[in-house]
Amino acid sequence: MTSDDRSVSPVVATILMVAIVVIISASIGTVAFGFADNLGGTTIAANNEQCLQSLDFDPNDIDSFANSATADLDCILWFDATQESFEDGDQISRWADRSGNGFDATSSDLSNIEDPKYIDDIDGVSAIRFDSADEFEGLDTDATANEMGLDGDSQFTASTVVRPDNEVDGGVMQIGTDQGTTWGFKPEINAEKQWVFLILGESTYVVTYDAEEDAEEWIVLTHVYDGDSMSIFKNGKPIYERGEAVGGGAVTQTPEEEPTLDITNDPYNIGFFNFDGTDTADDPFDGSIAEIVVLNKAFSDTDREVLECSLDEKHGSAVNVENC
């Protein structure tokens, strides 16, 4: 050892060891969970394929969100008005599918369905506005439900950020037609103060639930079909689960047994129903849609909560999902 060699004091050695451990731990955490640290909290950033942008959470609850960060949110359809570059009032002939699958919603081929409009700020939310006062408005996809993998024989999940007008009914969205079986949902605010979930085929199956407070309010509606029964969540709260009313919701069901879904080879309609595949306008929607996410599997509660809380986070005070 020469006179230029330096020994490391025990205190310095301890500091260096702690620093190395902290750096290694931080690196493992970032790789394993996709965490991006910042002074105001922590963000879960989704993969490019996922229908999720980001979710901030309290570092005190890091364990539960570490588990949630692995949630599989790969979708087959994702329409998100907040990611569009439209100008306020533009008529929309193409709403891009952000899932990466290319299932864009475009102008309908039906003769009396016109293009809806983009509105930059509806109670603080950017959205596509559907208004049937002068003409029916809607979009549909070139790809069929079957081409999207939505055969209805197994599972699907659909989550929508929607705001119905005050005096309205009409189809928010629909997959398939009664050439086989169709499913969809709509509000009936004016007549019965209800949301209506429909399965139409050999027999009509209807679930209705309370919507009295939803007129001119942004809500998150999630429908989960597990291959056997339907569950419905409004703002994160279950109101209809596995074929039964829950949480005190006013739910009616006709008939008592849920039919098997058999979605047909027809386009996915947004803003209107087209029950027989040829009807030029049955129940057009009056209201606004900010976001639609559709998956060809049934969400677990963890996946659903992560998605719904990301929608709550994204759309600010206009959206209020329970427990987010």
CATH number assigned to the domain comprising residue 148: 2.60.120.200
147 in the same domain as 290: yes
Domain that residue 263 falls in? 77-318
Q: How far apart are CA 241 and CA 234, in angstroms?
A: 11
Residue 19: inside a domain: yes
Is residue 61 helix, strand or coil?
Answer: helix
Residue 277: inside a domain: yes
- Number of independent structural domains in the chain: 2
Q: From 22, 51, 68, give the residue that closes a domain.
A: 68
Residue 2: inside a domain: no
Compute the half-sphere exposure of residue 173: CA atoms within 13 Å on the CB side of its CA: 25
Q: How far apart are CA 153 and CA 57, in angstroms?
A: 36
Nearest to 24 by CA among 16, 276, 284, 316: 16
237 in the same domain as 94: yes
Residue 81: inside a domain: yes
pLDDT for position 313: 86
Give the pairing of strands 113-114 and 136-137. parallel
Q: Does the reported pTM lie above 0.85?
A: no
52 in the same domain as 81: no
Question: What does each of the 324 residues of the chain score in pLDDT, given as a tens digit?
Answer: 444 443 444 433 333 233 323 222 333 232 223 323 333 344 544 455 577 766 665 555 555 555 555 566 788 999 999 999 999 999 999 999 998 899 999 999 888 899 999 999 999 999 999 998 878 999 999 888 888 887 766 788 999 999 999 877 889 998 877 666 778 899 988 777 889 888 876 667 788 888 888 999 999 999 998 888 889 999 999 988 876 767 555 566 666 667 677 777 778 899 998 877 666 656 789 999 999 999 888 988 888 988 898 899 889 899 999 887
Q: How far apart are CA 130 and CA 165, in angstroms?
A: 10
100 in the same domain as 64: no
Backbone φ/ψ region at 153: left (φ over 0), alpha (ψ -120 to 50), beta: alpha
- Please, which residues have CB within 8 angstroms of residue 280's CB and are 6 or more apart in sequence? 110, 111, 112, 113, 274
pLDDT for position 63: 56
296 within 8 A of 150, measured Cβ to Cβ: yes
Q: From 68, 88, 116, give the residue that closes a domain.
A: 68
143 in the same domain as 290: yes
99 in the same domain as 132: yes
Beta bridge partners, 91, equal 117
Tell how far CA 127 is from the center of its chain: 14
Sign for the CA dihedral angle at 255, 205, 295, 131 comes to negative
189 in the same domain as 44: no
Residue 1: inside a domain: no
138 in the same domain as 48: no
Q: How far apart are CA 271 and CA 174, in angstroms?
A: 8
Q: CB count, 10 Å around CB of 310?
A: 25
pLDDT for position 163: 96
Residue 207: inside a domain: yes
Assess whether the previous peptide bond of 255 is cis (omega < 30° from 0). Answer: yes
117 in the same domain as 261: yes
Residue 59: inside a domain: yes
Q: From 50, 68, 86, give the residue that closes a domain.
A: 68
Is residue 162 helix, strand or coil?
Answer: strand
Q: How far apart are CA 54 and CA 230, in angstroms?
A: 28
56 in the same domain as 146: no
pLDDT for position 81: 96
86 in the same domain as 64: no
- Please, which residues have CB within 8 angstroms of residue 244's CB and are 6 or more apart in sequence? none
Q: How far apart are CA 185 and CA 287, in angstroms?
A: 13
216 within 8 A of 198, measured Cβ to Cβ: no
Return phi, psi of residue 308, to 5°: -65, -35
309 in the same domain as 173: yes
Residue 157: inside a domain: yes
Query: What are the Cα distances from residue 315, in Å, to 162, 180, 186, 215?
Result: 11, 36, 22, 18
